[in-house]
Structure 1
Amino acid sequence: MVGCRPRQLRPSLTEDAMRWFGGCVTSTPGVPSYVPEQDVSLVWEDPFPLWMVGEWSPDEIVFARSRSREAVLVGVCSLTRGELVKWLDSACLGGLPPWPGIYTVVVRDACSITVWTDPTHAAPLYYTNIEGGVVWASSSRALAAIHGSGLDLNWLGAMVCEPPIPPSGQRSAFADVDCIPPGYRMMFTRGKKPMAQQWWFAPNAVSSSEAATGFRWSLEKSVLARTTTVERISCDLSGGLDSTTLCLLAAGLIEVDRRVTGLTVRPASTDSGGDLDHARTVAFYRHNIRHSILGLTGEALPYSELEEIPPCDEPAPSTITTARHRVAYERLVDEGSQRHLTGDGGDALLIPPSAYLYELAHRARFVRLARDVHGWAKLADASPWPRVRELFVTAPDKRASPPWASNRAQELALDYPAWGAPDTSMTNAYVISDVRSIARTANADTQIAHSFGIHLDAPFMDRTVMDAALRFRLNDRGSPWQYKPQITDAFSDILPRNVRQRHTKGGTDVDHHHGLRAHLGPVKSLMDGWLAGHSLIQPSPMYTALDRAAIGLPSPFGEFEPAIALEAWARAVTAALPVKWTRAFPAHKATP
């Protein structure tokens, strides 16, 4: 069991290391397009050029051509060129078939170019209006450089006021750069405004057995799409249900002579107990899981290396634990991993949001409501009455702003143009919203991991997996006495009994208390910085919360850590060199 090796310099997520793609649509023919100055691979020339920046492997790009259209699929998908051609030849291109994976589809014909966005928002797309046209891309930071735009203060205000779930809305983190809604197709035509149309809709609920069968099929296909495109695959193996299921699925789907590396991260001082014992049980359960246990020393505590946060499209979920992730990525590089699977998104997708209690009240199911409210209160060792009052007095989407949120931040947040709720049940609407927010921000983690040479992937964020999870009826989605029955029912034959019977997973609050105690001074100095300078936070209430957490008192980490991550990210983005653009006629066409 090897501990942290001597610290190495973090790979820099510079302009040259960024990986993204995009295109330009000018109002009239013969006008030069906006093109990044850095080296690009040109997929299509004018009209409607499409370029790719950075290193892309062949399995991440599928080309197709029919009589009057061309198409490119960018992302993780097991789709073949023949299947893409078949779809391209169909009379109607309204929506996308349920292909497993996370991807974007781009189609052009003689008159326009159309992009289909991923319904989970795991592959976000953005666009910005320019004089004489539109530029669209998978990186909002790259597009912001066209105008020299700074950060969008309304977006920042919403981030400060609405933790821990970041905002989902029409605008990106950068001024003058808009977000294409997830599950939409947007058509760009010369001389016309971009036209967006929804193509994905939430599915209807089905019986418990049908939902479990569909969920298993979808998650298996999603994992298979990852295992068939690379030779060496690794997976988080935390001992929890989500990562354990993915690891066992991957081990069962690969050829008999291949192995899956299961990565378990633990404190260097801990050699048994809790999550580690469950992870060892899983590794013992399958002979082709190579268990890699990574012991973390003090240098990888939370709040370490915040000054080394790279400039991404928005704050990465791993910001507070950036040192831990750096060490893990270095281990995965040593293990030779070509793709690493995480259980990210599993909690948001499978644990019922508090909104389900409002739905029970709305449906007048008061017996179930009373039972569940009492059960959740008992698990939290708290009185049920505050939750009862909340149910009948407060709207489910009404969160109180944290005490450090300034009046200006709250005013800016009110003007942030959020998307409307999906046309589905209240519970599903909240699940979809949470999954989309988490998937979108996780894209920043993917950008960081790629700078280490690691392809990070989250099968729970696949559109097909989200579809399958939304088909479970409210009664079949868990309760205070059932933890993620969607997984335990669908995969009862492959999960070890001790893992299947888990009702929760290990917490990390102790590590965060220790990390904050070790780095309290630098963190407090950090918070009297960019956000405070723009009157978005009040440092004094933040200092009080940090002091309480540093001495080990119960603390709202989910509220103040997003603000710390936001500060570190804002400093990194405003200090970074912008992507350089030029106006030119694209001339070098890549050969599909």
Structure 2
Amino acid sequence: MHWFGGGSSGAPVPEGAHLVWSDPPLWVVGPCPERRVKTVQRDGVQLAVLGPCGADEVELERAMSARDLASAAGLWAGSYTVVRHRRGRDEVEILTDPAGGCPLYRVSTADGTVWGSSSRALAGLAGQQVDTEWLGAFLADKQSPLPGRSSWAGVMPVPAGHLLMLTREGAASVTPWWQPSRRSYEEAVSLVSELLADGVQTRVEGVAVSADLAGTDSTTVAVLAAQHGRVLALTAHPEAVTWGGDMRYARQLRHPSIEHLHFPLGRAHLPFATTTTVLPPTDEPAPSSGLWPMLSEQLLSVAAQGATCHLTGDGGDNLFMAPPTHLADLARRGRMFRLAHDAMAWAQLRRVSPWPLLRSALRRDTRGLARPWLERPAWLLAPAVEAPSHPDGADAALLADVRGAAHSTHQDVQLAAALGIELSNPYFDGALLDAVVSVPAPDRFTVCRYKPLLVDAIGPLLPEAHRLRSTKGVFAGDFHRGARENLSRLLALADGRLAETGLIDPRPLRAAIHRLGLGVESVWPPILAALTAEMWLGAVASTAPTAWVPVSEVAR
């Protein structure tokens, strides 16, 4: 596994780490491409940028001497962490990205604070115990687990869009550095176009690239990548179906640098199927755990053809197809005609009643507008914890959704890394999030067009059929079939470690799984949370904790 971190002077260092600099220590662990670590050192100042980042040498030099690190380095293209050490001030600044696509954690030790990009690795300094309260909150609502806690006891997250400051003595402070900007729709369209192109470019230059080719989001990324070289574009489809759905759109895209690869899905690729490729351990339950049979073979297939970086469209829906949380903003501002119009249009589109939408809007209940199906599962025994407050308005709801999705998808990045593939998600770039959320929420929303801000930004890059597309592939049928054909395995998961710890009652969970196998319409997220959490517990239980040693024992 590749990860990075640092700490106060005298803090321990993970065994096998490679030091970027030694005092105070900054390190990387595992295979790390050189282009993912940019460093500049001059006049007693050390600056490092870890992760895909589009900053050039001039921008890096400017950030070294900037009075405010965030204003100089916070909104470059990419998804990255910035570290600056100024000897005269004896402090280290660690800047997290606004979207949370590159999550950071910290832990307190007798030798000072240690921080890093892997909570599981840091857990070796804190007892290597899963935080069962966090896990219970995850089972109740995987998008809103306990704030200020991680899946590992004693390991704390550093919030997205914050600055972690360490002193030589080991003291730590965390302060916010980012607030959403404000722009017109036209200004944001131009900026989204520029940032998305730059974010893709910084990931693909000089490497062999593959990409998903399915919906509008992934197709856009594939076309942007193809401007810089060959792209192996992969479209998954049922093995007996070679037309329609995503295949129809994939066939209409013709680009001289895009090589199409069809990936037929059979029984072995169904959700929850057994596979010889063992599920790797991750920091938290990975959303693609149930899809590991399919995902692992897809990644291995592109790796066999030379690809080392695989691009996805994850995050496009979160950014550009938000639920109608803006209705709460309209209610707050007294714009009742627009509120009624948009509620009726959304209800007609989704074939639901508008009255629950209007009630939630008038109560300013953004969570009810975004996820009206959310309720506590009958099988959950974990003590109820105080839920985080509702996001205040559509902007806050968008931020919470994007950050939750980016944080969750990072676990899939770790899964892919175990296979030697760099999984990259340009839609989770912090600067891109800033550009999207800068548009007033009512201007971002319409039921008349599909992802208007994205489609207006990418302009003529896609064929007309893609620009006019208003649907995307759904896989509910595959999940029901996977549950039916792998029922015994899922029932065994229901009787596993979660049940042993008393977090769940396996009987109602087994009943819910049986209904899935019968094809009964179900609320999937809480069931998937339980199954992926059980698979995760099994994966981390079979893995030794990270060993830590004095910095003097690590080579630079």
Q: Same fold (TM over 0.5)?
A: yes
How far does residue 336 in structure 1 lie from its aligned partner after superposition?
A: 1.1
Letter in 1 for 2:219: T
**2:152 paired residue number:** 174
Q: Which moved more, 1:261-270 or 1:528-537?
A: 528-537
Matches within 5 A, 1:128-139: 128-139=107-118
**1:406 paired residue number:** 380
How far does residue 306 in structure 1 lie from its aligned partner after superposition?
A: 8.1
Is the counterpart of residue 224 in structure 1 residue 195 in structure 2? no
**Could you say if the C-alpha distance between residues 489 and 73 of structure 1 is closer, same or farther in structure 2, counting changes exceeding 3 Å?**
same
Is the counterpart of residue 24 in structure 1 residue 25 in structure 2? no
Q: Secondary structure at the match of 1:585?
A: helix
Is the counterpart of residue 275 in structure 1 residue 246 in structure 2? yes
Of the three residues 135, 139, 145, the one matched with 2:124 is 145
**2:20 paired residue number:** 43
**1:246 paired residue number:** 221
Q: What is the distance in 2 between the residues matched to 1:552 and 1:431?
A: 32
Is the counterpart of residue 154 in structure 1 residue 121 in structure 2? no
Q: What is the distance in 2 between the residues matched to 1:82 and 1:492?
A: 30
Q: What is the distance in 2 between the residues matched to 1:375 and 1:541?
A: 37
Is the counterpart of residue 305 in structure 1 residue 274 in structure 2? yes
**Kept after mapping to 1: 8 A contact 2:128/2:545:** no
**Could you say if the C-alpha distance between residues 327 and 587 of structure 1 is closer, same or farther in structure 2, counting changes exceeding 3 Å?**
closer
Instruction: Name the % identity.
Output: 34
CA deviation vs aligned residue, 1:255-305 (integer Å, no higher than 9, x gap): xxx3211110111111111111011111x2x22211111111101101123
Is the counterpart of residue 371 in structure 1 residue 365 in structure 2? no
**Could you say if the C-alpha distance between residues 123 and 101 of structure 1 is closer, same or farther in structure 2, counting changes exceeding 3 Å?**
same
How far does residue 372 in structure 1 lie from its aligned partner after superposition?
A: 2.4
**Could you say if the C-alpha distance between residues 20 and 231 of structure 1 is closer, same or farther in structure 2, counting changes exceeding 3 Å?**
closer
Q: What is the distance in 1 between the residues matched to 2:14 and 2:70?
A: 31
How far does residue 93 in structure 1 lie from its aligned partner after superposition?
A: 2.5
**2:43 paired residue number:** 67
CA deviation vs aligned residue, 1:437-467 (integer Å, no higher than 9, x gap): 1111211111111121111111111111111
**Kept after mapping to 1: 8 A contact 2:74/2:95:** no
How far does residue 156 in structure 1 lie from its aligned partner after superposition?
A: 0.9
CA deviation vs aligned residue, 1:66-93 (integer Å, no higher than 9, x gap): 2121011111013234431222023333
CA deviation vs aligned residue, 1:489-532 (integer Å, no higher than 9, x gap): 22231221111112221211111111111011210120122222
Q: What is the distance in 1 between the residues matched to 2:347 and 2:336?
A: 16
**Could you say if the C-alpha distance between residues 69 and 121 of structure 1 is closer, same or farther in structure 2, counting changes exceeding 3 Å?**
same
Is the counterpart of residue 521 in structure 1 residue 464 in structure 2? no
**Could you say if the C-alpha distance between residues 355 and 168 of structure 1 is closer, same or farther in structure 2, counting changes exceeding 3 Å?**
farther
**Kept after mapping to 2: 8 A contact 1:120/1:462:** yes
Q: Secondary structure at the match of 1:377?
A: helix
How far does residue 574 in structure 1 lie from its aligned partner after superposition?
A: 2.6
Q: Secondary structure at the match of 1:106?
A: strand
CA deviation vs aligned residue, 1:211-247 (integer Å, no higher than 9, x gap): 211111111111121232x232121101x11011111
**1:15 paired residue number:** none
Q: Which moved more, 1:373-382 or 1:270-279?
A: 373-382
Aligned length: 548
Unpaired runs of 5+ residues, structure 2, are none
**Kept after mapping to 2: 8 A contact 1:246/1:343:** yes
Q: What is the distance in 1 between the residues matched to 2:389 and 2:54?
A: 31
Q: What is the distance in 1 between the residues matched to 2:79 and 2:146?
A: 19
How far does residue 207 in structure 1 lie from its aligned partner after superposition?
A: 2.4
How far does residue 314 in structure 1 lie from its aligned partner after superposition?
A: 0.6
How far does residue 538 in structure 1 lie from its aligned partner after superposition?
A: 2.2
Q: Which moved more, 1:296-305 or 1:145-154?
A: 145-154
**1:290 paired residue number:** 259
Letter in 2 for 1:301: L
Letter in 2 for 1:145: G
Q: What is the distance in 2 between the residues matched to 1:297 and 1:166?
A: 34
CA deviation vs aligned residue, 1:304-361 (integer Å, no higher than 9, x gap): 2389332110111211111110110111112211211111111111112342222222
CA deviation vs aligned residue, 1:60-119 (integer Å, no higher than 9, x gap): 111101212101111101323443122202333343252111111111122122211111
Q: What is the distance in 2 between the residues matched to 1:69 and 1:548?
A: 61
**Kept after mapping to 2: 8 A contact 1:241/1:487:** no
Of the three residues 170, 175, 184, the one matched with 2:162 is 184
**Kept after mapping to 1: 8 A contact 2:380/2:504:** yes
Q: What is the distance in 2 between the residues matched to 1:361 and 1:92?
A: 38
Q: What is the distance in 1 between the residues matched to 2:128 and 2:17?
A: 23
How far does residue 540 in structure 1 lie from its aligned partner after superposition?
A: 2.5
**Kept after mapping to 1: 8 A contact 2:309/2:421:** yes
How far does residue 199 in structure 1 lie from its aligned partner after superposition?
A: 1.4
**1:99 paired residue number:** 76
Of the three residues 317, 328, 331, the one matched with 1:347 is 317
**1:235 paired residue number:** 211
Q: Secondary structure at the match of 1:492?
A: helix
**Kept after mapping to 2: 8 A contact 1:168/1:419:** no
**2:230 paired residue number:** 259
**Could you say if the C-alpha distance between residues 513 and 94 of structure 1 is closer, same or farther in structure 2, counting changes exceeding 3 Å?**
closer
Matches within 5 A, 1:106-117: 106-110=83-87, 111-117=90-96
RMSD over aligned CA atoms reads 2.1
